[in-house]
Amino acid sequence: MDDSTRFSGSVPEHYDTGLGPVLFQHYADVLGEEVALSRPHRILETAAGTGISSAAIAAHNPEAELVITDLNDGMLELARTKVPESTRIQVADAQALPFEEGSFDTVACQFGVMFLPDPAAGFSEARRVLAPGGVFLFSVWDSHANNRFAAIVDGLLRERFPDDPPPFYRVPFGMSDVEALRERAQAAGFGRVVIDVLPYETEVASWQGFADGLILGNPLADQVRSRSGDLPALIAATAGRLEAEYGRAPVAIPVQAIVCRAFVR
Ligand SMILES: C[S@@+](CC[C@H](N)C(=O)[O-])C[C@H]1O[C@@H](n2cnc3c(N)ncnc32)[C@H](O)[C@@H]1O
């Protein structure tokens, strides 16, 4: 069965190097600043990954206690190298958090909620561990229409595997309906929800490096292997398609994220 949540094996390294600078660093800085606005004392990060967003949260909130969590230990191993020593690091499923209710002032989650098989549980858990006055700050990717690079990769996968295309590239871009996000948060007990759509022009230094991250830096790699796909050929084809679309690297490409702040009533 295709699993889009297993960021393990060599995935963390390819994710961090190939995707981190292009897709995650800018929005991590935005998230770190946003977290600091409410001057939290206790911050929980869920789906912290390799620590790109964790490092930004730590840098913008140096006085706060920070706990970072993720489902996959291999991702957290890299995160360990990026955060201050005082950071508590723990494997945890965002759908079943091992913390008491009201333990945190802010819960932050950058590009994680789309991976939860039961998103309602993830929103309820964030609400449960927040103290009165707390805020759940989370980001998701906007749709393929607003992240053309992802539509290109997904299109290539459909061409290469017409009978059974790997589903990964529909998951992170599949929770972009702003009103549905607001409803999900409110159904979990949050009050006011503030949502911003954030376009950004991000720099791609090398198509080969970015394509490496796009194919090997997430669970797609296993989905291709299980279909006996040729990973090096797919990376080369991805780099070629992206260069044909955007021109030779270095070049800036448009990406778009949605950042949500859900406040405890
Ligand atoms: C796209 S990465 C985002 C990582 C990091 N926040 C960043 O911005 O670089 C998604 C992360 O969600 C994690 N993840 C997937 N399912 C999860 C779950 N049920 N609970 C917690 N983390 C999960 C993955 O291990 C992966 O690290």
What lies within 8 Å, CB to CB, of 15 at 6+ separation is 7, 49, 50, 75, 213, 217, 218
Mutate to test the pocket of ligand 1, among 111, 129, 218 (most ligand atoms within 8 A of CB): 111
Please give the share of the chain, as a percent, with pLDDT higher than 70. 100
Secondary structure (DSSP) of 84-149: -TT-EEEE--TTS--S-TT-EEEEEEES-GGG-SSHHHHHHHHHHHEEEEEEEEEEEE--GGG-HH
Task: Using the mean position of ligand 1's atoms as its centre, give its distance from the Cα of residue 199 in Å.
Answer: 22
- Say yes or no to pLDDT of 2 above 90: no
Residue at token pair 């290469």: 160
Task: Using the mean position of ligand 1's atoms as its centre, give its distance from the Cα of residue 71 in Å.
Answer: 7
CA of 75, closest atom in ligand 1: 27
What lies within 8 Å, CB to CB, of 140 at 6+ separation is 111, 113, 114, 172, 175, 176, 181, 257, 258, 260
Identify the pLDDT of residue 130. Answer: 98
Identify the pLDDT of residue 24. Answer: 98
Identify the pLDDT of residue 22. Answer: 98
Identify the pLDDT of residue 205. Answer: 98
- Say yes or no to pLDDT of 89 above 80: yes
- Rounded to an integer, the average pLDDT of 58-64 is 98
CB atoms within 10 A of CB 39: 11
For residue 188 and ligand 1, the question of a CB distance below 6 A is answered with no
CA of 172, closest atom in ligand 1: 1
- Say yes or no to pLDDT of 1 above 80: no
Q: What are the structural domain ranges in the chain?
A: 11-264
Tokens of 57: 């949260």
Question: d(Cα 49, Cα 29) in Å, to the nearest integer?
Answer: 15
Architecture of domain 11-264: 3-Layer(aba) Sandwich (3.40)
What lies within 8 Å, CB to CB, of 142 at 6+ separation is 173, 176, 197, 256, 257, 258
The single-letter DSSP state of residue 6 is -
Question: d(Cα 206, Cα 187) in Å, to the nearest integer?
Answer: 43
CB atoms within 10 A of CB 14: 21
Cβ(85)–Cβ(146) below 8 Å: no
Mutate to test the pocket of ligand 1, among 5, 19, 69, 118 (most ligand atoms within 8 A of CB): 5
For residue 95 and ligand 1, the question of a CB distance below 6 A is answered with yes
- Say yes or no to pLDDT of 79 above 80: yes
What digits encode the pLDDT tens for the residues 233-265?
A: 999 999 999 999 999 999 999 999 999 999 998
Cβ(54)–Cβ(88) below 8 Å: no
Question: d(Cα 11, Cα 106) in Å, to the nearest integer?
Answer: 28
Q: Look at the pTM and tell me if it is higher than 0.85.
A: yes
